[in-house]
Amino acid sequence: MDLEGKTAMVTGASGDIGRAIAKALALAGCDVAVTYVGDLERAETTAAAVEASGRKASIIRLDQRDSDSISEAATAVIDAHGRCDVLVNNAGWNIGIPFPDLEQLDVPTWDRVLETNLRGPYLLARALAPSLRRDGAGRIVNIASIGGLYPGSSSIAYSCSKAGLIHLTHCLAVAMAPSVTVNCIAPGLVEGTRMAKRLTPEMADLARSMTVLGQVGSASDIADASVMLCRAETITGQTIVVDGGSPPVMNFG
Ligand SMILES: NC(=O)c1ccc[n+]([C@@H]2O[C@H](COP(=O)([O-])OP(=O)(O)OC[C@H]3O[C@@H](n4cnc5c(N)ncnc54)[C@H](OP(=O)(O)O)[C@@H]3O)[C@@H](O)[C@H]2O)c1
């Protein structure tokens, strides 16, 4: 699909990876709705980068834990741009809780992770489905984690939320075919991101040392993969791992 003149909503575009995706989609020709939940200043920086590419940007506050906020954000995208062709479910939240520490992973933490990382992307896809389906060429890209493929990450809740997001990708690919393709990217540790900095140094070092390429993933590789999945006509229900080539054992995305 030619992305020129399309509109993309990138959730969590105040964050490091979301910003890279928003910039790459703008360079590919998309106007971009930039969402944030608390950090307006960072969202403004992302929007300025989109505009520097000659594309229109809007800034929308979105709390993925709040179904009203999701409905309002979906309406705001259509109000601002008149359409939404691409939804990148990038926003996510995590907290470092070692897997064996079952007591520390309490109900509020579990709910926050699952609501943000899994229920939110579903509700956004549902809210934007009419627009995504409208021209028969909508795109959804979900940003999961290798923690959703293997039992290892910042917490059991995060790993389960991302496993759910990967399977949500499969389910939505069926539900929204043929008018919308739905794909997923599963990063490992992404160097330089705030999320990576929240890992313990030991976990980050171990993740780096386990890659066959000697380097973990980059936000620009994730952004490039997102653009590729949006352009592709016949790829759906797939998950691309961007992790520097980690063996399929305990991982730390
Ligand atoms: N960084 C990594 O190493 C890594 C590895 C694997 C997977 N990932 C995944 O990649 C995605 C982006 O990660 P990142 O490193 O760019 O993280 P980040 O810099 O911490 O950004 C997270 C983004 O999510 C937004 N957000 C948090 N809670 C939200 C909520 N309740 N509702 C709506 N938005 C919310 C944040 O908004 P504010 O800025 O306004 O707070 C921010 O824009 C996430 O889904 C993450 O799980 C990252």
CATH number at residue 135: 3.40.50.720
Mean per-residue pLDDT for 167-179?
Answer: 98
pLDDT at 208: 86
Quick check: is 39 in a domain? yes
| Mean pLDDT for the chain overall | 94
Q: For atom 36 of ligand 1, which residue has the closest CA?
A: 12
Nearest by Cα to 144 from 38, 49, 242: 242
| Greatest distance between any 2 Cα atoms in the chain | 50
**pLDDT at 87 > cutoff 80:** yes
Q: How many CB atoms lie within 10 A of CB 35?
A: 31
Quick check: is 137 in a domain? yes
Provide the pLDDT confidence category of residue 31 given band limits of 50, 70 and 90: very high
Establish whether residue 89 lines the binding site of ligand 1, counting it when its CB lies within 6 angstroms of any ligand atom: no
- Tell me phi and psi for residue 73, to 5 degrees: -65, -40
Domain that holds residue 72: 7-242
Quick check: is 70 in a domain? yes
**pLDDT at 112 > cutoff 80:** yes
pLDDT at 221: 97
Quick check: is 1 in a domain? no
Quick check: is 252 in a domain? no
Q: Is 158 a catalytic residue?
A: yes
Share of the chain above pLDDT 70, in %: 98
**pLDDT at 104 > cutoff 90:** yes
pLDDT at 253: 47
Whether 158 contacts 97, CB under 8 Å: no
Structural domain count of the chain:
1
Establish whether residue 65 lines the binding site of ligand 1, counting it when its CB lies within 6 angstroms of any ligand atom: yes
Quick check: is 78 in a domain? yes
Least confident of 30-44, 52-66, 108-122, 209-223: 209-223
Quick check: is 249 in a domain? no
Quick check: is 124 in a domain? yes
Establish whether residue 154 lines the binding site of ligand 1, counting it when its CB lies within 6 angstroms of any ligand atom: no
Mean per-residue pLDDT for 124-153?
Answer: 96
Give pLDDT tens digits for 37-64. 999 999 999 999 999 999 999 999 999 9
